[in-house]
Structure 1
Amino acid sequence: MKKRVTLTFPRRTVHMPVTYRLAKDFNVAANIIRAQVAPNQVGKLIVELLGDIDEIDASIDWMRSHDITVSVTSREIVIDETICVDCGLCTGVCPTEALSLHPQTFQLQFTRSRCVLCEQCIPTCPVIAISTTF
């Protein structure tokens, strides 16, 4: 089972080795998609949790017991293919190369698993074909 969540750490828990504890105590793999963490500041992680659903739920309960806010991320980048003109401008700002042009057809390709929801592509699209869903 996979579950993408956003973790918000209060200042006092930023130092905790959360991903280590998830793996060691709950047998849950944590793939960090996006991170904004600094000492003595509120931290934010977007993490994809992978493991048994009961273990994932137990790990979420554990994080919440340590005052880490956990919210299930259902936001995704959406491309309206009826509007997209395959200009490729979005590919130039995509830091993970989730957006690319097919080398032979020059049609836009979106690899969702590489997307880190940075949303840099949204304002770049001249025809407003890229948006997010909740």
Structure 2
Amino acid sequence: MRKRVTLTFPKQTVQMPVTYRLARDFNVAANIIRAQVAPNQVGKLVVELSGDIDQLDAALDWMRAQSIEISLANPEILIDESICVECGLCTGVCPTEALTLDSQSFRLVFNRSRCVVCEQCIPTCPVEAISTAL
């Protein structure tokens, strides 16, 4: 089973080797999609966890016991086509090429199935046409 979660670490647990512990103690693989972690600051990690359902639940319980906040909501990227100016800046930061420019029309093409919701496109958009929705 797979679950995409956002983990928010308090300052005191940001140094903890969470992905190592998930693999070793719970046999849960963690694919890191996005990370914002720095010493002595609140950290955020978007990960896709995969493993047996019971092991995933045990891993989530363990993280909660470590004061790690877990958000199970799966956001999705939204593009406001009425605002988008088709500049293509978002295509340069998209790691999965979910955002591309059509070679004929030079219009933005969003392939939702390729999107991993890393959110790198959001701050890149100069007109704020890209956002997330839950």
TM-score by length of 1: 0.77
Quote the offset at 1:51 in angstroms: 1.1
Give the Cα–Cα distance (whole angstroms) in 2 for the partners of residues 122 and 106 of structure 1: 16
Letter in 1 for 2:25: D
Q: Which residue of 2 aligns with 1:74?
A: 74
Identity %: 54
Contact 2:91/2:101, CA 8 A, preserved across alignment: no
Unmatched tracts of structure 2, length 5 or more = none
> 1:42 and 2:42 equivalent?
yes
Q: SS at 1:120's partner residue?
A: helix
TM-score by length of 2: 0.77
Q: Which residue of 2 aligns with 1:116?
A: 118
Contact 2:84/2:127, CA 8 A, preserved across alignment: no
Quote the offset at 1:74 in angstroms: 1.6
Quote the offset at 1:79 in angstroms: 4.4
Letter in 2 for 1:112: C
Count of paired positions = 129
Runs of 4+ in 1 over 6 A off after TM superposition: 83-86
Quote the offset at 1:43 in angstroms: 1.1
> 1:89 and 2:88 equivalent?
yes
Give the Cα–Cα distance (whole angstroms) in 2 for the partners of residues 40 and 80 of structure 1: 36
Residue deviations 1:102-130, cap 9 Å, x none? 557866142213x41232365547xx5x4
Give the Cα–Cα distance (whole angstroms) in 2 for the partners of residues 21 and 73 of structure 1: 23
